Structure 1
Amino acid sequence: MVAEGGSSLAGSARRAQEVVRELMLIAVAITLYFGVRGLITTRVDTAYRNAEDIVALEKSAGVFVEPELQDAVIRHGWLAETFGAIYIYGHWPVLLATLLWLLLRHRDHYRTFRNAMLLSGAIGLVIFAGFPVAPPRFLPGYGFVDTVAERTSAYRVLQPPAFVNQYAAVPSLHFGWNLLMGIAVATLAGHWVIRLFGWLMPALMLAAIVLTANHYLLDGVAGGVLALLSLLVAYRLSRKRLSARKLR
């Protein structure tokens, strides 16, 4: 009985150490991500030219509908505030809560999704540096309105301007990372209500990034594709690690 109790305590201590270690890793990764992103030297004139190119591309494809959609939302103040709240509070609070849930309840899956976030974040930083893009809210000539800045300062608190590259619209990891967490929740949660939240959360975030004029539709597509490709790579690495472990 004493041996079993000692073994149980040792196992709990190891799990606690692993949780602390992973939480520290996440904290360091987030700090580095925003630190590097904020320090990236952006060519502002290039960022605006690239934004105009994206608008032209969307127009040629017949999908430049963001100004009309945002205008329809702004006419209903409560709807604009709702999407602003989703944009602000549906991102980092949801990401961190989901990662913690994965770490505590689905540890093997946690590593896969964590690695997918790290990989997509690293690739995103390279793209931000090489292809700066001004977000829609910086192009009022098209009718865009920065509804988040107009209606709340909460986002500036959660993500201080000193740590943010304002010209990093492409790809939208704001959507891509929510997509990753949505997949995790939709596939691993036990209750159907929570799984439904996993399905709806990325869709609502995609709408929010566009309707608040923080991203173009193509940004969302790019962020989603990058996140999914990173998840595929992370999943294959996880499978290889599992196979190697079984061969030992």
Structure 2
Amino acid sequence: MGETTVTTLEGRRAAAPSPVAGEADGRSEQSLLRRVRAPRRPRLWFEILLIAVSYWTYSLIRNAVPEQKAQALRNADWIWSVERRLGIAVEQIVNHAANSVKWLIVGMNYYYATLHFVVTLGVLVWLYRSHPGRYAAARTALFVTTGVALIGYYLYPLAPPRLMNGGRFVDTVLVHQTWGSMASGDLKNMSNQYAAMPSMHIGWSVWCGITIFALATVPWARVLGLLYPAGTLVVIVATANHFWLDAVGGMACLAFGYGVARAWYGALPHTLPRLIHHRTGGSQTLPTPTGVPANQP
């Protein structure tokens, strides 16, 4: 029962697969795919190891990319000329204006050097503790964004404005002798100086801003979420570490990262359930990505 038969050329009767069995196999495969794609409760040791290994790999690959100084300078000259023709070349004005106020530019140097890491790690920890159901998808978007950026560094070497020939930009770290860039002073030999496109300061800060704005329940925190990437854009331009078009590249990478997370998890990170529920007895029930309010308690 449940099988049909067909007659072969030799007159023999052979069993043919049952349509019911085929449908059951299809449902089983779909169920398996849903289980694989569904968010799982993150494990602390694994996440710490993953972040450490990923950042080490990112730094290693980024700094191993050939610097290609001549090509990087040509690319910088081309971007600067395009911006001037379009009337959007504001980087030099912002750089000189910020540099004229010492306390402001020194603060920006330290902002550039530290918040890039501190805020991003802080948001990851907050997601892990308070939004475990959304953590994996948000982390995936961030990691894919960073991976795509590495391709950009390899394919399009770009000198920052402060290293342009005759660009008349101020290297604010050198002038004020602050620690604000891995590509200035005594640290310049530890980093690829010609990996300005795309800007991961912007990619990461916009990721932080979107996450905080979408998930925070305190109004002032949501406002800070919006201000953080805006402030980062001002800082990367004022310190002459990036053209503002590098920020456009960073946001394009982030859009791709969110696209991958959306395709894998079936929803954007902030729309997934906040918590991962459990059945009685402790077995995990994996949430579905649709039909659940974004701010589920």
TM-score, with structure 1 as normaliser: 0.85
Post-superposition CA distance 1:14-51 (Å, at most 9, x none): 96x80111111011000000011111122111111111
| CA distance in structure 2 between the partners assigned to 1:28 and 1:150 by the alignment | 34
Following TM superposition, the consecutive aligned residue runs of length 4 or more in structure 1 with deviations greater than 3 angstroms are 154-157, 160-163, 244-247
Question: Which structure's residues are more often helix, by fraction?
Answer: 1
Corresponding residue of 1:126: 151
> In structure 2, how many angstroms separate the alpha carbons of the residues matched to 1:172 and 1:154?
15
Preserved contact between residue 55 and residue 64 of structure 1 (Cα < 8 Å)? yes
Amino acid at match of 1:212: T
Aligned to 2:87: 62
SS of the residue corresponding to residue 117 of structure 1 reads helix
| Equivalent residue, structure 2, for 1:184 | 211
- Counterpart-to-counterpart distance in 1, 2:87 and 2:288: 52
Partner of 2:115: 90
Are positions 1:74 and 2:74 aligned together? no
Is the CA contact (8 Å cut-off) linking 1:90 and 1:205 kept in structure 2?
Answer: no
The residue number in structure 2 matching 1:208 is 235
Aligned 8 A contact 1:37 1:163 in 2:
no
Query: AA paired with 2:247?
Result: G
Using CA pairs under 8 Å that are at least 6 residues apart, name the structure with larger relative contact order, 1 or 2. Answer: 1
Q: Residue 38 of structure 1 contacts residue 164 of structure 1 at CA under 8 Å; is this kept in 2?
A: yes
- Residue 132 (structure 1) shift: 0.3
Shift of 1:245: 6.6
Q: In the TM superposition, what is the alpha-carbon distance from 1:225 to its structure 2 partner? A: 2.1
Matched residues, number: 231
Find the residue that maps to 1:116 and give its secondary structure. helix
Q: Any stretches of 5+ residues in structure 2 without a counterpart?
A: 1-39, 273-285, 290-297
| Contact 1:88 1:155 survives alignment (8 Å) | yes
Find out whether 1:28 has 2:53 as its counterpart.
Answer: yes
Answering whether residue 255 of structure 2 is matched by residue 228 of structure 1, we say: yes
Shift in Å, 1:74: 1.3
Q: Tell me the equivalent position of 2:224.
A: 197
Q: Show CA shifts across 1:196-231 (max 9, x none).
A: 111110000011000000000100111112212311
TM-score by length of 2: 0.71
- Structure 1's 149 and 191: CA in aligned 2 closer, same or farther, altered over 3 A? farther
Q: CA deviation at 1:140?
A: 5.8
Structure-1 residue corresponding to 2:138: 113
**Residue 149 of structure 1: how far off its partner (Å):** 3.7
> Which residue identity does 1:104 align to in structure 2?
R
Shift of 1:133: 0.4
The equivalent of 1:146 in structure 2 is: 171
- Sequence identity percentage: 34
Distance 1:113 1:140 in 2: 40
How far did 1:92 drift? 0.5
Deviation at residue 192 of structure 1 after TM alignment: 1.5
Structure showing greater radius of gyration is 2
Partner Cα distance (1:66, 1:83) in 2: 15
